[in-house]
Amino acid sequence: MFDVDAYLRCIGHEGEAKTDLDTLRALHKKHLMAIAYNSVSSLTRPPSRRGTGVDLVDIDEDATFDAVIAEGHGGGCIQLSRLFLRLLRELGFDVALLGGSTVEGAQLFGTEVEHMLLLVTLDDERWLVDVGYAGPSFLEPLRVGEEIQVQYGVQYRLVEDAGSLVLRRCARGGRWHVVYRFTLTVREPAAWSEFEAKVNANLAAAEPGAGGGLMLCSRALEDGQAILKGRRYLTVRDGREQVRTLVDTTEYEHLAAGILTGPVG
């Protein structure tokens, strides 16, 4: 059952939750550190009430809260973003749903509304909020503006392109690359119906036991992130990225467990 106080305890937020930028920053980062992105959980918790596949649009928020937050299983962008949206609204923030697409998602699903993120308005300034992207990406809200913004050694900027905003990222010593594109059009959950149908079609066509593809999981660290995609393990610490392929099964299982259950070393 969705419970604001229990939610705040789960992500480690203490004291009064004010509707200001400091609180928004704290909630955003604490959420990313406490609740893992978990692609496996996103495809299994909770099951579709229609019995036809994964339910990504008409989710039962109480059941999703129990599985993703209270039980600590984590989830995908839609589960995490929908729950954080409700939390922020319950706390009194002016927040709306936005839709976008990652580079990989656009290739897999061919729809412009794939990724779910949030827009919070505070004192006439707009802030991009996203607790549902596996990463690497920003750990605290980004102001919607043209300037370069730096978080934990990583640079971010929003660039206008053909009616969309493109989020670009540059790690320390690296090059700029695209994280995802989105628009500032306010959406309702039904906008993800096409994406849900394509996810279920892909799952239905997958080989038995394939589980919908490689595991993708991530968790924020105090100064960065740890991301596991299949056997590829990426860490970002103080803006510096390190990536390696995990060959040893024991090490793989240890690192996966660390991301999913925390904390990550």
The pLDDT, as a whole number, for residue 46 is 46
Confidence of residue 80 (pLDDT cuts 50, 70, 90): very high
- Which of 57-61, 143-147, 199-203, 256-260 has the least mean pLDDT? 199-203
The pLDDT, as a whole number, for residue 173 is 94
pLDDT tens by residue, 140-197: 999 999 999 999 999 999 999 989 999 999 999 999 999 999 999 999 999 999 988 8
What percent of the chain has a predicted confidence (pLDDT) above 70? 91
pLDDT tens by residue, 20-39: 999 999 999 999 999 999 98
Residue pair 78/132 in contact by the 8 Å Cβ criterion: yes
- Which of 82-96, 143-157, 204-218, 236-250 has the least mean pLDDT? 204-218
What length is written for the chain? Answer: 265
d(CA 25, CA 82): 18
- The CA R_g of the chain, rounded to the nearest whole Å, is 18
Q: For 256, phi and psi rounded to 5 degrees?
A: -65, -45
Q: For 120, phi and psi rounded to 5 degrees?
A: -110, 135
The structure tokens 């070393």 sit at 265
What's the rounded mean pLDDT across residues 255-260? 94
What are the C-alpha distances in Å from 14 to residues 51, 96, 129?
39, 25, 20
| Ordered DSSP codes for 83-145 | HHHHHHHHHT-EEEEEEEEEHHHHHHH--S--EEEEEEEETTEEEEE-S---SS--SS-EESS
Query: Which pTM does this prediction carry?
Result: 0.92
pLDDT tens by residue, 99-155: 999 988 777 777 889 999 999 999 999 999 999 999 899 999 999 999 999 999 999
What are the C-alpha distances in Å from 43 to residues 131, 149, 184, 201?
17, 33, 27, 13
What integer best gives the mean pLDDT of the chain?
A: 90
The pLDDT, as a whole number, for residue 104 is 80
Among residues 220, 245, 240, 242, the alpha carbon closest in space to that of 230 is found at: 245
Which is more confidently placed, 116 or 52?
Answer: 116
Confidence of residue 45 (pLDDT cuts 50, 70, 90): very low
What's the rounded mean pLDDT across residues 202-212? 61
The pLDDT, as a whole number, for residue 215 is 86
Q: Is the pLDDT at 90 greater than 90, yes or no?
A: yes
Residue pair 219/33 in contact by the 8 Å Cβ criterion: yes
- Which segments of the chain does DSSP mark as H helices, in order? 4-10, 21-34, 39-42, 61-65, 77-91, 103-109, 193-205, 249-261
Asked if the peptide bond before residue 208 counts as cis, ω within 30 degrees of 0, the response is no
What's the rounded mean pLDDT across residues 70-82? 94
Confidence of residue 213 (pLDDT cuts 50, 70, 90): low
The pLDDT, as a whole number, for residue 139 is 98
The SS3 call for residue 200 is helix
* CA angle 166–169–175, rounded 5-degree value: 120
- The set of catalytic residues is 77, 115, 130
